[in-house]
Structure 1
Amino acid sequence: MASFEVFHWTSLHWKGLLVTKAGPGRALYEEIKARVLDGTYAAGTALPSTRACAAERGLSRSTVSVVYDQLASEGLIETQPGGASRVAVGAMRVLGPRAAALPGLDRTTRLSAYGARAVTLVPGYPRPLEPGLIDFVYGPLAGRDFPTQTWMKALRRVEGERPARLAYLDPRGDHALRLALKAYLARARGLACDVDQLLVVNGSQQALDLSARVLLDPGDTVVVENPGYRMAHHVFEATGARLRGVPVDHQGLCTDELNRVRKAKLAYVTPTHQFPLGSFLTMARRQALLQWAGDRGAWVIEDDYDSEYRYGVRPEAALQSLDDRACVIYVGTFSKTLSPQLRLGYMVLPPDLVDAFVAAKQLTDRHAPSSPQRVLASLLEDGSYDRHVRRIRRLQQARRTALLAALDKHLPGQTIVEGSATGLHCVAWLPAVSGEREAELVALARSKKVVVYPVTQFFLPATVPDRHRRSTGLVLGYALLEPDGIDTGVRRLAEAVRGMTQPHHL
């Protein structure tokens, strides 16, 4: 190491302290230096005081002082009398991947079959968009819509009631929250369940993961909507299950197609607001799906992810409330009404599955965080949550109205809108733009600072139907935007569409 030219580990006497090559300060020196150089300790990061570091590491304070002085002499940290030692600005340099230090090692061979599948399925993490873009993303909510004052008031109250014993909690979830959820689901969705059938989870994605791990083995068949929610598909595929896509039309899942599926372990559906096309599963098809599942001994996951958003339409009965064979797993979430960052969702489980799911939940993460559960229970109990839902439904309805008006204004007669009666997004079909040019339109819109999402990405690979190939479809979310931004975004999109359809661009 170059540092040894300055700091002789082999033989250094300073204030009577001998630090040898195997001396007590060497490990600390190398650890701090490595963390500075690889960026773990960013510029300006304060290091522990010599006294605190010595106590934590079981070293003498003089040994720690020697290490800090050597790091300072190399320009890696800055020390000052009476103040904290900090990582120096400009100290970090980019190092190559650590795996490069192990030539010839193929780390992929050390993954399980699940790990190898998962790493190829899951898309990259979302990245912040550059300023000035108008993003019609589906999923996120506007931070300004969160009931901050109401939430903080309840949080202060529940934190003031924190128990003396801080121990692991019931993996099923806070009992008060499950009682409040039982009452809420009864009045909001007509669900009747026992409190012990409710399992609080970290969002609907964990509900799907638990379902896959508890119910599926490699090679099992899972029926999914096509197009559908790809993150759910990936969960099932990661377990080694085989997906059987069933088409969707304006009445939801085409249940007549189920007769061609001879054997399946599970069916995953979004019957209240089909993702992404937005259709309702009709009552006749709900009954047909339950009949099919009962006859084959299959489970049905009912993802009721944004049932709170209905604009002038009456909701159909939930599959769970129609289920007389105890085969429906009901999944709900607060990600679309409060915040996806809370990671709060729930499952209503058939009685026969409760013990297995609770055990799997406990093995995964013990239980969901306590404080958010208790706050949510308080909001459900005193009516605050219901008032918030009514308020945010009005806000989302205004945004939906603005989107439909903007499409009619800037693309008159050029769009066919699907799925706008519920939820937080709709699909706009553009008959004048061939489906084969969908990616081209998305890129051209991005160049005009508007981000839109092609519907093709939600189909199972190589299964995009010909009837959808003939026109481009865009999934347009509006929950993150205000009416002015929606209008501007659609105007920019219209400019891109004109750029695709004018003769000199053909």
Structure 2
Amino acid sequence: MVQFAPHTGHGAGRRIYDLLRAQIADGTLPAGARAPSTRALAADLGVSRTTVTAAYEQLAAEGFLATSLGRAARVASPPATVVNHSGPSDRRGKAALALSAFGRRVAGMEMPGLPHAEPARIDFLYGAVASRDFPALRWRRAYQAELLRHQHSLYYVPPEGDATLRRALQGYLRRARGLACDAEQILVVHGSQQGIDLCARLLLDPGDAFVFEEPGYLMARRCFEATGAELLAVPVDGQGLDTACLPGDDLARLAYVTPSHQFPLGGVLPIGRRLALLQWAQRHRAWVVEDDYDGEFRYGQRPIDALQSIDTDGRVIYIGTFSKALSPQLRLGYLVLPTELVAVFRQAKRMADRHAPVLEQRVLASLIDNGAYERHVRRSRRENERRRAVLLDAIGRHLPADARVEGTAAGLHVVLWLPFLRSQDEPILVAAARAQGVGVYPVSPLFAKSRPGKTPRPGGLVLGYASLTPEQIEQGLRILGAVIASWNPAAERSLPQR
């Protein structure tokens, strides 16, 4: 006889199911044994017969019990294999052996840490933007209008994205980035990161090589490395990628660049280097992936036109995003593709996730069409220019006099070099600042290679400012200056006299 402890109330059916299944698993109820009748078991446990019947039906559906009309339920023979969910097993190690080569490369990669669950009180996190800057009222109105718009049915849209957004982007890119394209060349993606990943998967094979900025955007580098392609790190200087160092052979199938605001150092690629890069790509039949992650935010003069705007050979893949102008949580970006790549990128996008969210695409299209988006970008640019001015002033007043700042002409972050700091000591300074409530981030992980035989580079920090108020920026730099002074007496002697 099966022994149960009586249970009443909510979940009785689940408890009956779990107890029977456990007794089948441990052999208490062997194969072929009769299960108690539903009527008797219901009486023993003080529950309704319907509750017991539902538990038996679930066990039968899963193959643990065999039932037939007019006959008592019996344990299936042989009983179904029971999976133990109670704790970890050694299968984790076996599963790793079954990974593809791509999976093994991904599993072995050192990835950037995710933001802390509890952000620092004053967090200079680059890539974050202020929630108060989001055009919530305009977005809500447009969202409600699209939500109430009648549709004949709800079904998937084409993988390249909603036609209204692609047409709106076609006009916007011509006005804002000097880029003339056809709407058919535009592919809407889940942020620039998916665009980078599609480029990596479709354009690189194991054994190929790719050109990458040194230092550069780590998540992009990892996408390209995951394909098994070889990294060719090309140095950057105050003007971005040093095109004189581009490889002379045909091994490189792709070059990834951030020409409008090099990440992280902030250089803007001048016209001579842009032409040299395009000529190199044409000569070697290589693709150029242009990541225009924050090109709309240039201060003192209009944004630099996109590299693709001067590409006459169809070698440049342009990647744009709404993460910096609106929100990284929106997860909307787009590619402008050379015509010959359109079909295969659409197919790959369809295989990955069908398409990006449609309602958000249509809301965004309406904001671009009625001019609200561009007005928002102009307001955001003014706000971030004000934040940047406060940041630079506070660095001058609170940090050592030999601290050096790069990347101030555009974008939403700067790089702060600290000559007294060794690069390997960046984590110590970062931890000390966080202990005082200030989040700052090391620059060294953005470098792909060490510099054997060369003068060691100093330590540095990447400071994002787009999510902070001017008051927070001022307070954060004052605290950081105090942390540096207490941590490094030599730095204290170099602090500006106040």
Q: TM-score, normalized by length of structure 1?
A: 0.80
TM-aligned CA distance change 1:159 to 1:122, over 3 Å? farther
Partner of 1:497: 484
Given that 2:162 and 2:362 are in contact with CA atoms closer than 8 Å, whether structure 1 keeps it comes out as: yes
- Which residue identity lines up with residue 63 of structure 1 in the other structure? V
2:51 corresponds, among 55, 59, 62, to: 62
Partner of 1:475: 462
Given that 1:122 and 1:231 are in contact with CA atoms closer than 8 Å, whether structure 2 keeps it comes out as: no
1:26 corresponds, among 12, 17, 23, to: 17
- Which residue identity lines up with residue 468 of structure 2 in the other structure? L
Q: Equivalents in 1 of 2:85, 2:439: separation in Å?
A: 34
CA positional deviation for 1:212 = 1.0
TM-aligned CA distance change 1:146 to 1:497, over 3 Å? same
TM-aligned CA distance change 1:175 to 1:491, over 3 Å? same
Given that 2:400 and 2:492 are in contact with CA atoms closer than 8 Å, whether structure 1 keeps it comes out as: no
CA positional deviation for 1:4 = 5.0
Q: Equivalents in 1 of 2:228, 2:305: separation in Å?
A: 33
| 1:71-119 CA distance string (max 9 Å, x none) | xxxxxxxxxxxxxxxxxxxxxxxx998441x569621101111111112
2:312 corresponds, among 324, 328, 342, to: 324
- Which residue identity lines up with residue 109 of structure 1 in the other structure? L
| Equivalent residue runs for 1:87-486 within 5 Å | 98-100=87-89, 102=90, 106-121=94-109, 123=111, 126-130=114-118, 133-260=121-248, 262-411=250-399, 413-463=401-451, 466-467=454-455, 469-486=456-473
Q: Equivalents in 1 of 2:243, 2:208: separation in Å?
A: 20
Given that 1:140 and 1:340 are in contact with CA atoms closer than 8 Å, whether structure 2 keeps it comes out as: yes
Q: Equivalents in 2 of 1:131, 1:212: separation in Å?
A: 32
Given that 1:25 and 1:64 are in contact with CA atoms closer than 8 Å, whether structure 2 keeps it comes out as: no
Q: Equivalents in 1 of 2:200, 2:278: separation in Å?
A: 20
- Which residue identity lines up with residue 51 of structure 2 in the other structure? S
Q: Which has the higher mean CA deviation after the structures are superposed, 426-435 or 403-412? A: 426-435
Count of residues in Structure 1 that have an aligned counterpart in Structure 2: 436
Partner of 2:71: none
| 1:256-288 CA distance string (max 9 Å, x none) | 000445421000000000000011011100000
Q: Equivalents in 2 of 1:349, 1:116: separation in Å?
A: 30
The alignment's C-alpha RMSD in Å is 2.9
The SS at the match of 1:432 is strand
TM-aligned CA distance change 1:60 to 1:333, over 3 Å? farther
| 1:214-233 CA distance string (max 9 Å, x none) | 11111110100010000000
Q: TM-score, normalized by length of structure 2?
A: 0.81
Given that 2:265 and 2:415 are in contact with CA atoms closer than 8 Å, whether structure 1 keeps it comes out as: yes
Given that 1:283 and 1:316 are in contact with CA atoms closer than 8 Å, whether structure 2 keeps it comes out as: no
Give the greater-gyration-radius structure (CA): 2
The SS at the match of 2:421 is coil
Partner of 1:6: 5
TM-aligned CA distance change 1:319 to 1:105, over 3 Å? closer
CA positional deviation for 1:60 = 7.6
The SS at the match of 2:252 is coil
Q: Equivalents in 2 of 1:459, 1:504: separation in Å?
A: 25
TM-aligned CA distance change 1:300 to 1:383, over 3 Å? same
Given that 2:249 and 2:284 are in contact with CA atoms closer than 8 Å, whether structure 1 keeps it comes out as: no
| 1:142-174 CA distance string (max 9 Å, x none) | 211111110010000011114121111111110
CA positional deviation for 1:435 = 3.1
Instruction: State, as a whole percentage, how many aligned pairs show the same letter.
Output: 49
TM-aligned CA distance change 1:207 to 1:470, over 3 Å? closer
Q: Equivalents in 2 of 1:483, 1:332: separation in Å?
A: 28
TM-aligned CA distance change 1:108 to 1:262, over 3 Å? same
Q: Equivalents in 1 of 2:20, 2:136: separation in Å?
A: 45
CA positional deviation for 1:239 = 1.2
TM-aligned CA distance change 1:244 to 1:382, over 3 Å? same
- Which residue identity lines up with residue 435 of structure 2 in the other structure? S
Q: Equivalents in 2 of 1:368, 1:262: separation in Å?
A: 35
| 1:430-488 CA distance string (max 9 Å, x none) | 12333343333222222322121111110004358945x34221110001111111111
Unaligned runs of at least 5 residues, structure 1: 9-13, 32-58, 68-94
Partner of 1:50: none
The SS at the match of 1:126 is coil
The SS at the match of 2:108 is helix
Q: Which has the higher mean CA deviation after the structures are superposed, 173-182 or 448-457? A: 448-457
- Which residue identity lines up with residue 214 of structure 2 in the other structure? N
Partner of 1:84: none
CA positional deviation for 1:61 = 3.6
